[in-house]
A and B are shown apart, each in its own frame.
Chain A
Amino acid sequence: MIGTLIKAEWYKLKHHHIYAILIIGPLLTLLIGMLNPMMGDMGAYHPWLSLFLFMNLPYALLFLPLITGVIACIICRYEHQAGGWKQWATLPVTRTQIYVSKLILIALLVLIIQMIYGLVIFIAGTVKGFDVVFPYWTVGKFIIGGWLATFPMIALQLWAAMHWRSFAVAFTINVVFTLPSILAINSERFGPFYPWAQPFFAMYVDESMSGMLFIPISQMLLVTGGSFIVFLVLGIATFKQKAI
């Protein structure tokens, strides 16, 4: 059932420049990372590590949380515009199924963005002729870790996008929660407990390039898992109550 619903959602998406949205973030952060004046000074430093250092910051800290909101808005646009919420009500699917299928599709799209990001890094490094082997294991881990860490944002943004017709409201909520991460990542006390800073921590690479997902699993479970469940329950509960 869910599979069919996800497919239906995907058809609705196709006309919304979705491919451009998937590719723009990785390319933009590559540009920002490559042009960083400090990039040239890294010298003998591990070349992949310095590339991650300059790219992961704008990407995981700001782009990833913000883009989840945009995708959530696109995914609800059709229903808001053409009275699609009513049409849903005539079909033999529960509201929870609708919600979950939208959620899964957003998560899949974010995963695709993450994979494009990995690919872009790989191509950039290869073209530049880095003489060190591409650290597959490290990149694979931060791609998956960063992806999992966006789940609370996906759930909250889907709730906002379903609730308000206006994109601007959902986007404002997104911005208000995302910006404090800039400060939160500098704080050892507060940062680890701020859900919006988790994608950054999950994608942070230290010199040893080791560690499972780079952050303690217990912290990830507590902060990311906890806030995800809260936002998910909030989203499903309000969608069930929503008058359409």
Chain B
Amino acid sequence: MMLLMKAELAKIKRKGFLFLAFLGAFGVVAMQMVNYGVRKEWLMQQNPDYWQYYLLNIQSFIPIAIVLGGIILTIQITNVEEETNAWKQQLALPISKKSLYLAKFLVIFVYLILAASLLFLFTLMYGIFLDFKQPIPFLTIVKESFLPVLATLPIIALQLWISVVSKSQTIAITIGIVNFLLTYSAFSFPEWVPWRWPYLGQPLFNIGLGVVAGALLLIVGMYDFYRKDAK
């Protein structure tokens, strides 16, 4: 598996994955830099717990950033095979189709975790820069940065599945936009729909379901890819 992941990492070299992870994390905090830059006084009056309110503002953008990042990563990681029609060559090698699929998923997961770590760092840095003069809630920042990734796993697994098996990347992008719009408007829907999970309204429930449904979709996608003929 390590070898396969290394192969995947080699394929996505210079495809801007690192930049994308940076951009996603920085973008979320940059939104608040603009927000606090323009109207810090007003925002400070909204809630006496400055850190909590700041984190709440940050959190509202995290789900859409993860979903969009996941869409772009899943499309990029299948792009090499797509563009050069390399699926067949890939399958001529003595590696199992299932592990190839799993390796792609794991690489995306690693980059999402990397983005989450950067998000933690940027959130903390800008928070300190804002100088709230209140104790820093480290644990809350860690939770807020990393846990939404777990609750978004079903959407990521679904996008990878579509991206791998569909003939054209336009299908993956279009369904990606649907997922993104549903995530953005998640509060129109009842609590149980998957697009609300990344907001962590009920953390334990959302994360538990996220991991279980994500693993299920990963397995279904893996088997679908396994039994499909190479394009």
Contact = CB atoms under 8 A, between A and B. Distances in A.
B117 interface: no
B170 interface: yes
B31 A29 contact: no
Interface stretch (A98-106, A161-169, A202-210, A218-226): A161-169
Contacts of A73: 169-170, 173
Nearest to B175: A24
Contacts of B188: 32-33, 35-37, 54
B43 interface: no
Given A58-B184, A183-B34, A17 B170 contact: yes
Given A58-B181, A176-B23, A168 B171 contact: no
B169 A167 contact: yes
B75 A171 contact: yes
Contacts of B202: none
A85 interface: no
Nearest to B31: A183
Contacts, number: 89
Interface residues of B, number: 34
B177 interface: yes
A36 to B, nearest CB: 4
A73 B72 CA distance: 14
A28 B175 CA distance: 11
Given A32-B182, A62-B184, A168 B170 contact: no
Most A C-beta atoms less than 10 A away, residue of B38, B61, B185: B185
Contact of B170 (A167, A169, A172): A167
Interface of A: 16-17, 20-21, 24, 28-29, 32-33, 35-37, 54, 58, 62-63, 66-67, 70, 73-74, 77, 165-169, 171-172, 175-176, 179-180, 182-183, 187
Interface of B: 15-16, 20, 23, 27, 31, 34-35, 38, 61, 64, 68, 71-72, 75-76, 79, 83, 168-171, 173-174, 177-178, 180-182, 184-185, 187-189
Given A168-B72, A176-B27, 10 more contacts: A16-B170, A17-B171, A17-B174, A24-B174, A37-B188, A58-B181, A62-B181, A63-B177, A70-B170, A166-B15
17 contacts: A21-B170, A21-B174, A24-B178, A28-B181, A32-B181, A35-B189, A58-B181, A66-B177, A73-B170, A77-B168, A77-B170, A167-B79, A168-B75, A171-B75, A171-B173, A182-B31, A182-B61
